[in-house]
Amino acid sequence: MIFEQSWRWYGPQDPVPLSTIKQAGAHGVVTSLHHIPVGEEWPVAAIKKHIGLLDQSNEDLSFKLFWNVVESLPVHEHIKQGREDRDQYIEKYIKSLENLAECGIKTICYNFMPVLDWLRTNVSYTLDDGSKALCYNAIDLAIFDLFILKRKGADQSYPPEIVEQANSKYKNIADDELENIKRSLLMALPGDQKGFTLEKLQQGLADYDGISAEKLRENLIYFLRKVIPKAHELGVNLAIHPDDPPWPVFGLPRVVGSADNLEVIFKAVPETENGLTFCSGSLGASQKNDLVGIVNRFYERIHFVHLRSVHHDSAFKFYEADHLEGSAGMEKLVEAFYKNQQKNQRKPLPMRPDHGHQMLDDLDKTTYPGYSAIGRLRGLAELRGLERGIIFGKRNN
């Protein structure tokens, strides 16, 4: 197979339980210790306890679930900001890597996005078929930035036509639409149920005052130069997750959004343990990114794969499409993984269907936006079919 079928699990509090993952046909469980505060060491005992939860669900030994990827081992903001005490946090990060390796977990996804993770202006965007998707609209982002966050200089962050459209939409916007934009943007980070308040976000932004993209990139490379040699020794692969969306938001720099960005990061620290989580949805949000080109160029560094597609309504608005639709060109993309795998003789890469629509019975349930069961089940099933079809087609040609 091209991929090791995987599924993200938020831990015991996840409304989608391990039994669902089994029935979805995934063996690899992508998970994290969400209860440990960012920056603290992950003790061996806590890692083992989490593994124990998976083991308990493994009475049926013919179908075993196992923890294949950590998503994420988050990087403390002081490392991203290059504060004086960053080395102390880097030490703890390395300790966590050692502990994970000791427990046999060797693929680690992380990101280097300041303050926020992925960002959408509407986390319940209704599609024509009645299912719900995640949506990003720059006009709504500008409305939030200009009129709710009231960030100084916000109007300089958007093209003039966006500011103009934001101004005119805001004049007549319904209260519930405005509330929905606010709620979507202040949503919790993945796995964090507390969410943001306006004040917390404003403080987060203030902490990055004066930190340019150049500086952020330097801080990333500083981190990698300390961590990667250790990862190499441990046989651990780090896999940076691209920025989502892959451009600056609220004046915060973002430096992991394009092939050129990746090239700089990989050149600075050439070991292949300095790797990538290939996320077709995040990279594909920018129409400038050539997804197949990125797979071909960086294949040896891709340690983890997120498959998902977006549909661009305009240059300023996209929503998450069905996994095989939208702009990703999923057939060509999966074929590119197949060809590179054949050439490089690599084991199947852990792959999870990223996000899914809220649909059918899930429309009445509360789950993390993008992480309901049935939409992801549909995504995984379609991707698995595509994968098999590609392998079958190549073997019989």
State the residues that interact with ligand DNO by CB under 6 A: 71-72, 109-111, 117-118, 190, 241, 279, 306, 354-355, 370
Closest listed residue to residue 227, CA positions, set 33, 45, 75: 75
Active site residue 76: no
Token pair 């519930």: residue: 176
Tell me how far apart the 2 most distant CA atoms of the chain are, in Å. 61
Cβ 79 to ligand DNO shortest distance, Å: 14
In the complex, the smallest distance separating the C-beta of residue 202 from ligand DNO, rounded to whole angstroms, is: 22
DSSP code at position 362:
G
Q: With DSSP H G I counted as helix, E B as strand and the rest as coil, what are the percentages for the chain, rounded to 5? A: 45, 15, 40
Shortest distance in whole angstroms from residue 134 CB to ligand DNO: 9
The crossing angle, in degrees rounded to 10, of helices 213-234 and 259-268 is 50
Residues 6+ apart with CB under 8 A from 117: 111, 189, 190, 244
- Residue nearer to ligand DNO on the CB measure, 245 or 370: 370
Q: Shortest approach of ligand DNO to residue 240 CB, angstroms?
A: 8
The residue (of 72 and 237) whose beta carbon lies closer to ligand DNO is: 72
Residue 354 known to be catalytic: yes
140, 354, 362, 368: the catalytic one is 354
Q: How far apart are CA 145 and CA 153, in angstroms?
A: 10
Among residues 34, 50, 78, 241, which one is catalytic?
Answer: 241
| Residue 135 annotated as catalytic | no
Do 78 and 90 meet the contact criterion of CB atoms below 8 Å apart? no
Q: Is 357 a catalytic residue?
A: no
Decide whether 111 or 340 has the Cβ nearer to ligand DNO: 111
- Taking the complex as a whole, the smallest distance from the CB of residue 339 to ligand DNO amounts, in Å, to 25
Given 135, 145, 208, 279, which residue is catalytic?
Answer: 279
> Which of 121/165 has CB closer to ligand DNO?
121
Q: Return the axis-axis angle of helices 86-102 and 213-234, rounded to nearest 10°.
A: 30
- Catalytic, 319? Answer no
Cα separations (Å) of 40 from 11, 26, 75, 76, 101?
18, 30, 10, 9, 17
Cβ-based nearer residue to ligand DNO, 181 or 285: 285
Which candidate in 34, 50, 306, 357 is catalytic?
A: 306
C-alpha span between 149 and 86 (Å, rounded):
29
Active-site residue, selected from the candidate residues 50, 76, 355, 357: 355
State yes or no: is 170 an active-site residue: no
Catalytic residues: 241, 279, 306, 354-355, 371
